[in-house]
Amino acid sequence: MNSSWRRWLGCDPRTACPQRFAPLLVCLLIPAIAGCSRQPSSLHVPPPPFDPPRIGAQAVATYDTDQDSQLSVQELAACDGIARHLKDYDLDGDNRVSAAEIAGRVNRWIAANTGLVQFSFSVTWNGSPLQGAHVELIPENFFESLLLPGSGTTDASGSVTVSIAGDQLPETHRNFPVMKPGIYKVRITHPQLQIPPRYNTRTTLGCEVSSETGNPTSRIRFELQGLENKT
């Protein structure tokens, strides 16, 4: 132990510190270490007041064009936020998603006590990382007012950490880039490239935001394709 620490604790610098000071050292050092670390991927605040059965029913009602009370792979083409994570929703493996399966997924967010999560993904343009793209996450309508939109700008590697605007977050979380868990549409534009409407104004992109999908090992990548002409 550093001699200055020994003196502060009242120890003789030439001898070992009494064991009774060990708990004090733990109390002092752990907060200091935590304060120097990066923000956690999931900030443990209460999740939004989700009503899983209602969300599941409204999601199916929104996209169930053939009125069979389930969402087929074809119907999910309009809801990439579920389609992109199909294996996490289609638990019985029938290539359809029911209201109960969507409700079950929402219940996982509740059980994880996931109120705000750090969420990153990457964007490529014709196979190369896209820098300077403006990314927006728009909540699916079936969440009503429970979620908030988020945005961000991709870096040189094409990566972006999307966040709710700081003034819409609790004061204690305004320095962290975080999103609420949920299903979102994704819109991507660029100040110099003509990104096709299917990626923005008529977007077909979407994703689930959660502590699972925000994990770096399962990072999402949006692979955009288009003409190289610039605006």
Residue 93, exposed/middle/buried by CB under 10 A (0-12, 13-18, 19+)? exposed
Which run of H or E residues covers position 70? Answer: strand 70-72
Can you tell me the mean pLDDT for 213-220? Answer: 76
- The C-alpha atoms of residue 45 and residue 43 are separated, in whole angstroms, by 6
Nearest to 162 by CA among 129, 193, 184: 184
Can you tell me the mean pLDDT for 38-63? Answer: 83
**Reported confidence tier of residue 217, pLDDT bands at 50, 70, 90:** low
Computed over every residue of the chain, the mean pLDDT equals: 85
Is 42-224 assigned to CATH 2.60.40.10? yes
pLDDT of residue 16: 52
Query: Could you write out the DSSP letters of every residue in 176-221?
Result: S--B-SEEEEEEEE-SSB---GGGTTT--EEEEESTTTTSGGG-EE
Tokens 């109120």 correspond to 115
Residue 40 has pLDDT above 80, yes or no: no
Domain ranges of the chain: 3-36, 42-224
pLDDT of residue 36: 37
Q: Running DSSP on this structure, what letter comes out for residue 132?
A: S
**Reported confidence tier of residue 39, pLDDT bands at 50, 70, 90:** very low
- The C-alpha atoms of residue 173 and residue 166 are separated, in whole angstroms, by 8
Give the Å distances, CA to CA, from 37 to 41, 145, 170, 176.
Answer: 12, 33, 21, 13
- 14-30 per-position pLDDT tens digit: 555 544 444 433 333 33
Which residue type is seen at 86? L
- 133-189 per-position pLDDT tens digit: 999 999 999 999 999 999 999 999 999 999 999 999 988 888 899 999 999 999 999
- The C-alpha atoms of residue 134 and residue 192 are separated, in whole angstroms, by 11
- 71-123 per-position pLDDT tens digit: 999 999 999 999 999 999 999 999 999 999 999 999 999 998 879 999 999 99
pLDDT of residue 216: 65
- The C-alpha atoms of residue 72 and residue 81 are separated, in whole angstroms, by 14
